[in-house]
């Protein structure tokens, strides 16, 4: 880790638990549950009929040239980014645009089955030429994974580095890490970093269902996401966005910013195993956490809390536990490790950014969010998962894990400001 610290000065999110950081954090501490039957489309014929949808959400107003070129995924990103910039005091007093960059974790924006079926019917009935002329180019612009980063740069006049990372569930961990590296290199003074996703759609529920990755506890959706519990049977799709404002310490001090936390380090790895499973020995998770500790120049015993990837699948939770044991040894049993996915579902490309925000709040408030629905201990996951009820604890340094579908792993470490 270089001498010049990189600090966090702004937080923003939109999640199934709430429309901002305060609501989301309050929901986490209350052990709230946002998982319920899907309302966006008729899912009764699917193996999984529930998800963590964002409900009762007032979409932000978008004006100017980006008003037309926006979908819900981009709107989630815009709302979370605005909150983060306002929290940092940079929404009105913008930084030098040439020293202000954007780094976003996102996956490509998929059309729904209804969209595809309507297009095929049009081609069949009217011919491809008429269907081509009737197609809105917006549909293809917003399908790009890079569109949210493009949109945020345009809305906030960020003319510095602009990146998109698309590595499934690790996307926003790596987007934050890219921002960290850019700031360390001196290529920018301020970076807006995070992720956004909206996968509660027919194709995604169908696809993950066919893979057997989703819980099928359709008779009791609220109890479906149960990380580290012996009876877990799959993850639950969620949606939302999370963004953080990162700055060099010098820039933050120069403008008198409130420093919420310091981003201490990042590690990454690949499982090189299987697309759908994690290696039983947790080797990829272990390597990622060890690399983050090395980057942050920390010892394992200095970590006070881990926000686990904790998806509630049999393989992932056991593999992550093995990785944690491999890094923390005998101390693993005493280290609090919780999964907030139990409450808000799996936000996929946005999950790591939101969960890093949770870590910052844990440090600030001295509270650990619980893993809800924990009933039956699993000897393969013998961790202190902060079961069911939030807990008071002094947290100086927290670790956040994100282990992506396909085997991409990322770990971020955040600490109390020095």
Q: What is the pLDDT of residues 146-163, one digit of tens each?
A: 989 999 999 999 999 999
Question: Which residue segments constitute the domains of the chain, with CATH numbers given?
Answer: 7-109+144-415 (3.40.47.10)
Pairwise CA distance, residues 303 & 348, whole Å: 25
309 catalytic? Reply is yes
What's the pLDDT at 62? 72
Token readout for 106 is 């996102």
pLDDT (mean) for 87-93: 96
Summarised one tens digit per residue, pLDDT across range 122-138 is 666 777 776 666 666 66
DSSP codes, 114-160: HHHHHHHHHHHHH-HHHHHHH--THHHHTTSTTHHHHHHHHHHT--S
98 catalytic? Reply is no
Instruction: Give 239's pLDDT tier (boundaries 50, 70, 90).
Output: very high
DSSP category for residue 344: H
pLDDT over threshold 70, residue 75: yes
Token readout for 216 is 């099928």
309, 351, 359, 381: the catalytic one is 309
pTM reported for the whole predicted model: 0.95
Residue 399 β-bridge partners: 306, 413
- Count the Cβ atoms, other than its own, within 10 Å of residue 56: 5
70, 268, 346, 359: the catalytic one is 346
pLDDT (mean) for 55-81: 82
What's the pLDDT at 1? 46
Summarised one tens digit per residue, pLDDT across range 269-285 is 999 998 888 999 999 99
Residue 100 β-bridge partners: 190
pLDDT (mean) for 106-121: 66
Closest to 337 in 3D by CA, of 391, 288, 298, 284: 391
DSSP category for residue 230: T
Please name the residue that has the structure tokens 């926000």. Answer: 307
Summarised one tens digit per residue, pLDDT across range 96-106 is 999 999 999 99
Residue 48 in contact with residue 207, Cβ under 8 Å?
Answer: no
Phi–psi pair at 317, nearest 5 degrees: -65, -40
13, 70, 169, 385: the catalytic one is 169
DSSP category for residue 15: B
- Coil, strand or helix at 277: coil
Instruction: Determine if residue 134 is left, alpha or beta; phi over 0 gives left, psi from -120 to 50 gives alpha, anything else beta.
Output: alpha
Residue 7 β-bridge partners: 247, 262
What's the pLDDT at 72? 86
pLDDT over threshold 70, residue 190: yes
């Amino acid at each position: 880790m270089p001498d010049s610290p990189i600090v966090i000065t702004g937080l923003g999110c939109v999640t199934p638990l709430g429309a901002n950081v305060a609501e989301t954090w309050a929901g986490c501490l209350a052990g709230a549950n946002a998982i319920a039957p899907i309302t966006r489309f008729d899912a009764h014929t699917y193996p999984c009929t529930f998800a963590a949808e964002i409900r009762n959400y007032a979409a932000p107003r978008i004006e100017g040239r980006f008003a037309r070129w926006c979908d819900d995924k981009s709107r989630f990103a815009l709302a979370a980014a605005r909150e983060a910039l306002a929290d940092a005091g940079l929404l009105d007093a913008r930084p030098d645009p040439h020293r202000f960059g954007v780094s976003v974790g996102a996956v490509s924006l998929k059309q729904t089955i209804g969209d595809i079926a309507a297009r095929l019917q049009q081609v069949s009935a009217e011919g491809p030429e008429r269907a081509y002329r009737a197609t809105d180019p917006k549909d293809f612009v917003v399908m790009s994974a890079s569109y949210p980063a493009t949109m945020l740069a345009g809305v906030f006049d960020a003319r510095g580095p602009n990146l998109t990372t698309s590595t499934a569930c690790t996307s926003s961990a790596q987007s934050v890490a890219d921002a960290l590296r850019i700031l360390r290199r001196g290529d920018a003074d301020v970076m807006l970093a995070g992720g956004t996703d909206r996968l509660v759609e027919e194709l995604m529920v169908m696809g993950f269902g066919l893979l057997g990755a989703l819980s099928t506890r359709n008779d009791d959706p609220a109890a479906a996401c149960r990380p580290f519990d012996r009876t877990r049977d799959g993850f639950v799709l969620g949606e939302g966005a999370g963004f953080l404002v990162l700055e060099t310490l010098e820039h933050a001090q120069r403008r008198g910013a409130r420093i919420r936390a310091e981003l201490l380090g990042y590690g990454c790895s690949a499982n090189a195993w299987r697309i759908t499973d994690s290696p039983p020995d947790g080797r990829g998770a272990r390597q990622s956490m060890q690399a983050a500790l090395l980057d942050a120049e920390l010892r394992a015993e200095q970590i006070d809390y881990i926000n686990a990837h904790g998806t509630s699948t049999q393989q992932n939770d056991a593999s992550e536990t093995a990785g944690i044991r491999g890094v923390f040894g005998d101390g693993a049993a005493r280290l609090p490790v919780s999964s907030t996915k139990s409450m808000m579902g799996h936000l996929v490309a946005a999950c790591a950014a939101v969960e890093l925000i949770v870590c910052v709040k844990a440090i600030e408030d001295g509270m650990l969010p619980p893993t809800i629905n924990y009933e039956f201990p699993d000897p393969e996951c013998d961790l202190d998962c902060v079961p069911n009820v939030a807990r008071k604890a002094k947290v100086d340094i927290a670790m956040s894990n994100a282990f992506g579908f396909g085997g991409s792993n990322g770990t971020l470490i955040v600490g109390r400001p020095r």
